[in-house]
Amino acid sequence: MDVISVIRTKRDRGELSPEQIDWVIDAYTRGVVADEQMSALAMAILLNGMNRTEIARWTAAMIASGERMNFDSLSRPTADKHSTGGVGDKITLPLAPLVAACGAAVPQLSGRGLGHTGGTLDKLESIPGWRALLSNEEMLNVLDTTGAVICAAGDGLAPADKKLYALRDVTGTVEAIPLIASSIMSKKIAEGTGSLVLDVKVGTGAFMKNIEDARELASTMVALGTDSGVKTVALLTDMSTPLGLTAGNALEVRESVEVLAGGGPADVVELTIALAREMLDAAGIKDADPAKALADGSAMDVWRRMIAAQGGDPDATLPVAREQHVITAPSSGVLTRLDAYDIGVAAWRLGAGRARKEDPVQAGAGVELHAKPGDTVTAGQPLLTLHTDTPEKFEYALESVAGSYDVAPAGTAFTATPIVRERIA
């Protein structure tokens, strides 16, 4: 077997054999296949796709590249959630402790930012002392004592995906449905969770721009999970507008804490509770009310214990960017559009994301929103604030936000898109 023949097969729109898939995943994991060769194969997959048989085998090969975890020793049922990535999508931060406060164990393996979308681990690392890297023993201990853990997948868990995940981020192949589905599901199946809720984003700020592609991705992942014995359900949720009022790392942590304190933006609260209900139902917990757990402070208690258990200081002051630039409303009227993709790219350009897999991110960088679509604005009032430690980045970010919003005359009718658009089980 050689990598050139594998690349040519997919380049020429052929079907990869099980033997080809098993070999190339194993060889890439061992370093026999170079990054540039896997990049070529990933691009061929993006352009020509994979059928269900290929995706299932690719996922199985990713799982087989490492170990599988087991949570049978826990006294609680396990429930996990995964988002396909969005702008301002900080939902995991309040969601994990909320579901734990309602009686489930939440083993949340999360990732870094991909392209214009933020990464949960990047956000949490803005908390002084917080550690993303835990051994399996440490992860199980945090999960057992607090009910929730958010951490990076260990080196032994789907190591093929860890390499490919970083490569996709810097080679323009993030959007490939087969690679998204196999990346997510290989980790989640290997992780050993009993149930899984998928938050599949759809809209300008998502990797799936239209509802048809989102359905295809969701259906593919639900089938992969169900066939592997994991109770899996997916929600298709809107990502045409950023979630909440922040896109960045420390900015989003601050907003998540506001949600846990009983406040925060209405859309973040709505989606957090909707996903919590799905997770609890999938785990077989029928009598818990996540809205109550959010309001009475019990979710906040779990958050503080979880952050402290991973070395973080829940009372520490979060980093703030050294420089800010305010963008004001050009006219008075109704804000009718605020494009999630443009805002995500601006946050990335300000330093909240990375252009290369080895790049650092700025904890305080990002975009703060002062209005959402449907709000009435006045000419000259702040619309967006850009945050960065490196002011030379402002010009590049301003290019992204220049066409990101529309203000219509006062009295213009506006109808918001529902946050949860469909459910697939």
Give 354's DSSP letter. Answer: -
Contact, 49 vs 214, CB < 8 A? no
Q: Classify 66 as helix, strand or coil.
A: coil
Q: Classify 336 as helix, strand or coil.
A: strand
Residue 116 is a catalytic residue: no
Residue 298 is a catalytic residue: no
Strand-pair partners of 199: 83, 235
Residue 52 is a catalytic residue: no
Residue 359 is a catalytic residue: no
Q: Edge-to-edge strand order for the sheet containing 376-377?
A: 376-377, 333-338, 405-408
From the list 82, 123, 163, 188, the catalytic residue is 82
Start-to-end CA distance of the chain, whole Å, equals 38
Is the dihedral angle over the CA atoms 239, 243, 246, 251 positive or is it negative? Answer: negative
Residue 81 is a catalytic residue: no
Q: Report the largest interatomic distance among the alpha carbons of the chain, rounded to a whole angstrom.
A: 66
From the list 161, 199, 238, 267, the catalytic residue is 161
From the list 57, 116, 123, 168, the catalytic residue is 168
Q: Any residues with CB less than 8 A from the CB of 25 and at least 6 apart, and which?
A: 58, 61, 62, 64, 65, 160
As a dihedral over the C-alpha atoms of residue 205, residue 209, residue 211, residue 217, rounded to 10 degrees, the angle is: -90
From the list 187, 215, 277, 354, the catalytic residue is 187
Active site residues: 82, 161, 168, 183, 187
